[in-house]
Amino acid sequence: MERRKRLLELASEYDFLIIEDDPYSLILYEPIDVAPLKSMDAEGRVIYLSTFSKILSPGLRLGWVVADDSFTEKFVLAKQGMDLCTSPLLQYITYTALKRKVIQENLTKIRALYKTKRDKMLEALDTYFPEGCKWTMPIGGLFIFAWVPERVNTKELIQDCIKKYRIAYVPGQSFFVNGSGANTMRLNFSYPAMDEIEEGIKRLGQAIKEKL
């Protein structure tokens, strides 16, 4: 919360805008005492984004923006030029899902389910990953971020993983602005079934050990 407040102060001091990309705050596994930047935005500097991709269905490609009209009017113009606006049918499906509380009820279910899966993956990482690895303990979202030993390049490792081990992850380098992170990976725990989580991490652990 302190960092968030400081960020808003800096935005004001140096006159910049903030894009708050927040697809995960509805999928939290532990309570946290943090408010969205947008809720503290006295100067209209925050452009808040979220999505139905993680709480209803990814294929809908439907999200929302909270920002001053001066921004959203421009977004609508630009988007209209790109795709003649978001499908009204998809918007209506989502509207109905909200009205019938499908999303709200689903959230309760997925929070419990994903938390169990997160814990399963954390346990598997402890068991199967070699010395010299570390990973995050996420309190929300769908991913664990992991660091493997420096000499393993995860962009190269993924080739073996796909062909030989039939598993996949997202190489982490793309998440670093300075091109570092060649030994990192993003692991998804929401999609695979419980037994696939264990088997997948076991194979991934083997693939890493092979490179050491």
- Residue 204 has φ and ψ, to the nearest 5°, of -65, -40
| Candidate segments 11-19, 58-66, 130-138, 193-201, binder of ligand PLP by CB under 6 A | 58-66
- Report the alpha-carbon distance of residue 148 to residue 154 in Å, rounded: 8
Distance of closest approach, residue 56 Cβ to ligand PLP, in angstroms = 10
- Report the alpha-carbon distance of residue 126 to residue 134 in Å, rounded: 9
Distance of closest approach, residue 87 Cβ to ligand PLP, in angstroms = 13
8-state DSSP, 140:
B
Choosing from 36, 63, 140, 181, the residue that interacts with ligand PLP (CB under 6 A) is 63
Q: 54 or 120, CB closer to ligand PLP?
A: 54
51 binds ligand PLP (CB under 6 A): yes
54 binds ligand PLP (CB under 6 A): yes
- CA–CA distance from 91 to each of 55, 60, 61 (Å)? 14, 9, 10
Distance of closest approach, residue 207 Cβ to ligand PLP, in angstroms = 25
Burial state string for 15-54 with b = 16 or more CB within 10 A and e = fewer than 16: eeebebeebbeebebeeeeeeebbeebeeebbbbebbbeb
- Report the alpha-carbon distance of residue 86 to residue 52 in Å, rounded: 13
| Candidate segments 11-19, 56-64, 97-105, 176-184, binder of ligand PLP by CB under 6 A | 56-64
79 binds ligand PLP (CB under 6 A): no
Q: 146 or 207, CB closer to ligand PLP?
A: 146
58 binds ligand PLP (CB under 6 A): yes
130 binds ligand PLP (CB under 6 A): no
Choosing from 4, 11, 18, 23, the residue that interacts with ligand PLP (CB under 6 A) is 23
61 binds ligand PLP (CB under 6 A): yes
Both tokens of residue 87?
């499908």
Distance of closest approach, residue 163 Cβ to ligand PLP, in angstroms = 27
**Residues whose CB is less than 8 angstroms from the CB of residue 192 and which lie 6 or more positions away in sequence, other chains included:** 117, 200
- Report the alpha-carbon distance of residue 37 to residue 45 in Å, rounded: 10
Give the binding site for ligand PLP (CB under 6 A).
21, 23, 51, 53-54, 58, 61, 63
